[in-house]
Structure 1
Amino acid sequence: MTSSDVLSRRPSHDGRHIVILGTGGTIAGRAEQSTDVVGYKAGQVAVQDLIEGVLGLRRRIDAGWRIESEQVSQVDSKDMSHAIWRRLAERVQHHLDRPEVDGIIVTHGTDTLEETAYLLHRVLAPSRPVVLAAAMRPASAPQPDGPQNLDDALTVVGWPGARGVMAVLGGQVWPGAEVRKVHPYRLDAFSAGDAGPLAHVEAGQLRRLREWPVEQPLGLKVLAADIWPDVQIVTSHAGADGRLVDLLVQVGVQGLVVAATGNGSVHQDLMAALLRAQAAGVLVLRALRGGAGCIVPSSTDLLPDAGALTSAQARIEVLLRLLARRGG
C-alpha cells in the first residue's frame, strides 16, 4: 500500500467494513482563494483528510463501522494513465478478495470518471459495491460538494444488497457502464444517457430505480500486459479526411474509435481510411460523437458500433478487447 489508515471504535462485525481508495481529482483539489472554483489544482488533499471532513463519518464509526483508507495515486484525473488504472484495479481486487470488506469507495476526478468506471465495471464486475465518489468543486471551496458526495457514497456502499461499479454525485447514483460527464462545471454534471440514474440518495436513504449493474468480469489478468495496445479516437466532422487515420496506421495504432455523427455516420473520406485500417488489422469501432441515445445498427453498416457508449468508453472497450485477444 502507498498509505493506509484505519478508523474504528468497535469490532468490524458490529457494522460495515469499508475501504476508501484515493486517486486525487477535484474532490481533493485546492485553490489559492477559496472563492475560486475553476482555477484550482486537483489532487492536493490526502484521502484520509477528505474522509475526516465527512459529517456522517463519526456517526457511522460510533455505530460500529470500520473505515480504511489508502492513497493509490494523487493526480488530476485528466492525467489518468494506464499504469494508475492497473494499480487501482489491483488494489480494488485486493480488497474485494478480503471477505471482511463489505464495499469500496474510490475518490476520483470527474474528467475521466466515465473511463475509469467503465474499465472497473468490465474488468472486475464485483458482486459487492465499488462506488466512485467525485466532486465538481474543490475541497477549498466555501461550499464543496465532495463531503456530501462521500457521505452519499458511504450510504450506497453500505446499503444491503448493493453490488457492482457505480458513481455517486449530487445525490444521484449512476451505473459504471453508463455514467458520463455532460457539463464542465455544473453540480449536476453527470448523466447515463437515456436510461437515467440507477438510484437517488435521499436523507441518508437509497431509492433504487433500476437493478444493480451485473456483468461477466474479464478478470485482472486482462490488464497484465506491460505495454497496452495503442488505441486512439478520431472524429468525423464536415471536411474530415483520412490523413490522420493513415498516419496512425503507419505508426502502429492497434485500435481506433471514430466519434461519429448522427446515427453513427462517418464522412465518406474518413470512412475510406477507416476501412483501410480495418483491412490492415486495426480494430475499429464507431461511437456517438455526443449527446444521448444509442447507435441503431443497420444491415448496410461497414464498421461495428459501440451502442450507447461514449467515444471515451468505446476506447476502453477496444482496449480491453485487444488486451483479451493478446492474452488469448
Structure 2
Amino acid sequence: MQTAADLIVILGTGGTIAGTAKTASDGVGYTAAQLRVEDLLAAVPALAGRSLEALQVAQLDSKDMDFSTWQRLAAAVHAQLARPEVRGVVITHGTDTLEETAYLLHRVLAPAKPVVLTAAMRPATALAPDGPQNLFDAVQVAAAPGAAGVVVAFAGRVHDATQVRKTHSYRVDAFESADGALVARVEEGAVRLLGRWPAGEALGLARIERPADAWPRVEIVMNHAGADGRLVQALQTQGVDGLVAAGTGNGTLSRALDAALRDAEAAGVKVWRSTRCDAGPVMDLPGLLPSAGALSPVKARIEMILALLGETS
C-alpha cells in the first residue's frame, strides 16, 4: 500500500528519451522531444503500481537547453518538493546537456529530497529503447530510503550531479562519474548504495530570478596547438562577462592565450582555468590564473554565471 509520502513526480523536458524515428532500426536519425511524459510512463508497465504524477515542463532537444527553461524547471522542482506528500522528483531530459542541468539544480536547490535526472541514448521507437529501463530505475532511486540531493540515474548507475559527465557519443552507458565515485547502482529494481547522497548549501531560486536575457555572458575557450588568444580578444569586444579556459592537462595555457586571458581579467572579465581532460582537478598555484577546481568547463561556466548573478543581485 502506498503512503501519502510515497508520491513521485515526473517532470518531462523532452530529449531523446521522448524522441521518435520513422523506423525502429534508426537509432540516430530521430527527432527528439516528440512524446509527452505520460507516454513515457505508459511504456513502463512495471510502474503501474506506484503513486506517480506527471507534468510536462518543457519539450525540447537538450542541445537547445536555455536559461529560461532552467528557470522554469528549477521553480517546478522546488514547488513539487515543497509538497509534503512528494517523496522525490524524477526529470526526463536529453543527454547532451543533462550534466549541466543537474549541476545547476544541485547548486540552486541542494534539495533534501531526491531529484533524479534520467534520459536515453536511443529514441522511444528503437528496436531496444533504453529509456523505459532508465525511467524505471530513476523512480526506484527517487523512492529509495535515505535518498537525497540531485543525482543522475542512467544505465544502472547513479551519479552525483557534481561528478557526472557524458563521456561517449553513442553508447547506452554514455555517462561516467569523473573520479569514479558512483553514488549507487540499481540492480533489478533494488538500489545499492555505494557512496553518499549529494548534499550542499542551496543558493536559492532568488539567485536565478533575473530575466534570462539579462544573465551574465560567460563563454568557454580552449587551449590547443596554435591557440593565439584572438578569440578572447574578439569576445571582449562583444561584452563578455566571464571566460572559462578549458586548458590542457592541469589547466595549462599557451603563452599567447594566457596573455590574452590576463588582459581580459585586467579589464574586468572574470577568468577561471579548467581542463579539457575528462577528469581531475586543476591546481590553484601561485602566479597562475584562478582555478575552477575539479569542475569541468561546462560546470565551471555555470558556477561562474551563478557567482556573477550573486555579485550583481
Fold match by TM threshold 0.5: yes
**What secondary structure sits across from 2:171 in the alignment?**
coil
Q: Give the 5 Å matches for 1:113-124.
A: 113-124=98-109
For 2:295, the aligned partner's letter is L
- Name whichever of 285-294 and 171-180 sits farther off: 285-294
User: 1:100 and 1:325 mapped to 2: Cα distance?
Assistant: 36
Residue 294 of structure 1: aligned partner: 281
Residue 27 of structure 2: aligned partner: 37
User: 2:2 and 2:171 mapped to 1: Cα distance?
Assistant: 40
**What secondary structure sits across from 2:293 in the alignment?**
strand
Residue among 204, 211, 215 paired with 1:219: 204
Give the TM-score, by structure 2 length.
0.97
Q: Does 1:229 align with 2:182?
A: no
1:243 Cα deviation after fit: 1.2
**What secondary structure sits across from 2:283 in the alignment?**
coil
Residue 247 of structure 1: aligned partner: 234
1:12 Cα deviation after fit: 4.8
Structure 2: gaps (5+ residues): none
> 1:22-50 CA distances to partner (integer Å, 9 max, x unpaired)?
00001001111111111111101100110
Residue 89 of structure 2: aligned partner: 104
Q: Does 1:160 align with 2:150?
A: no
- Name whichever of 291-300 and 163-172 sits farther off: 291-300
For 1:170, the aligned partner's letter is A
User: 1:104 and 1:48 mapped to 2: Cα distance?
Assistant: 15
Structure 1: gaps (5+ residues): 1-9, 61-65
**What secondary structure sits across from 1:42 in the alignment?**
coil
Task: Say if 2:163 and 2:181, in contact at 8 Å, map to a contact too.
Answer: no
What count of residue pairs does the alignment treat as equivalent?
A: 311
Residue 256 of structure 1: aligned partner: 243
Residue among 299, 307, 311 paired with 1:321: 307
Residue among 269, 273, 297 paired with 1:282: 269
Q: Give the 5 Å matches for 1:1-328.
A: 12-13=3-4, 16-60=6-50, 66-226=51-211, 227-301=214-288, 303-327=289-313
1:221 Cα deviation after fit: 0.3
User: 1:288 and 1:11 mapped to 2: Cα distance?
Assistant: 47
Alignment root-mean-square deviation, CA: 1.2
1:268 Cα deviation after fit: 0.7
- Name whichever of 30-39 and 120-129 sits farther off: 30-39
User: 2:301 and 2:66 mapped to 1: Cα distance?
Assistant: 14
